[in-house]
Structure 1
Amino acid sequence: MNVWSNEKYCDLANLILGAVLVLSPWIFGFAAGIPSQNAWITGIVIAILSVAALAAFAQWEEWLNLVAGLWAIVSPWLLGFQGTTAMTVHVVIGILVVALAAAELWLRYQNPPRLTAGS
């Protein structure tokens, strides 16, 4: 029986956030160029890592999602689109992705998987 755990719900939420970031240039009317390209690339990375984590959990996926979320937070300043709607979207989604990835890592360390005989 395939039971969804809290970790899977975090991965699903990150998948949705990645999709929102990919679609955000159209939803929020970003200017063409660096803000849109960054949203597409970062959103795709977050979504792919989330799909990989849903398929088979590995801690490296959560660490990379944490890094991708941090990139979304700092990229407006590093790429020069601060003070825009694109910045707000990147920062909010980045904070949510970081929080979910950190929560998932915390859950994993609090409740490590148990090995049972015969499984």
Structure 2
Amino acid sequence: MENWTNAKLCDVANLVLGAILVASPWLFGFAAGRVSENATISGLVIAILAIAALAAFAVWEEWLNLVVGLWTLVSPWVLGFQGTTAMTVHVLIGAAVALLAAIEIWMITQNPPRLTTGR
């Protein structure tokens, strides 16, 4: 049961990180365009996946969060906005989301949920 509590904490952290990423163009003054669109879309996907995981956990949500976290991490190089505040925000949040998703996936593989048999 402790792992489920830890998993929920990871999901809440991902929800907060997604919300920060969505708000980051306004918080940190990103220029409009691809940079702010990427932050908004990536942040919304992270937040929606976190809400879905909190509502009804499924391991595929964590795998998707890992992918979106990794995308957020590498997107400054792919989209060409290196050396900016936007890059720092994307790299830090992307690394945190990917790490939290990896931790949740690891927790699940170490202690898979057990179904009761009714005995």
Tell me which interval the TM-score lies in, with the shorter structure as reference length. over 0.9
- Listed one character per residue, the Cα deviations across residues 66-108 of structure 1 (whole Å, up to 9, x for unaligned) are 0000000111111111111000000000000011000011111
**2:102 aligned partner:** 102
Letter aligned with residue 59 of structure 2: Q
Give distance in 1, aligned partners of 2:100 and 2:115.
Answer: 25
- Could you list the runs of 5+ residues in structure 1 that have no partner in the other structure? none
SS at match of 2:95: helix
Instruction: Kindly provide the CA deviation profile for residues 7-51 of structure 1, in whole angstroms up to 9, marking residues without a partner as x.
Output: 010000000000000000011111111110000000000000000
Q: Which residue of 2 aligns with 1:63?
A: 63
SS in 2 for 1:5: helix
- Secondary structure in structure 1 of the residue aligned to 2:83: coil
Q: In angstroms, what is the RMSD of aligned CA positions? A: 1.2
**For the residues of structure 2 that align with 1:16 and 1:118, how far apart are their CA atoms?**
38
1:12 matched residue in structure 2: 12
**Aligned-residue identity in percent:** 72
Aligned partners of 1:74, 1:38: CA distance in 2, in Å? 12
Q: Which runs of 4+ in 1 moved over 6 A?
A: none
In 1: Cα distance, 2:118 partner to 2:71 partner: 42
Aligned residues: 116
The aligned runs of 1:83-102 (5 Å cut-off) are: 83-102=83-102
Query: How far apart, CA to CA, are the structure 2 residues paired with 1:76 and 1:85?
Result: 10
Report the alpha carbon displacement of residue 117 of structure 1 after superposing the two structures with TM.
1.6
Q: Any gaps of 5 or more consecutive residues in structure 2?
A: none
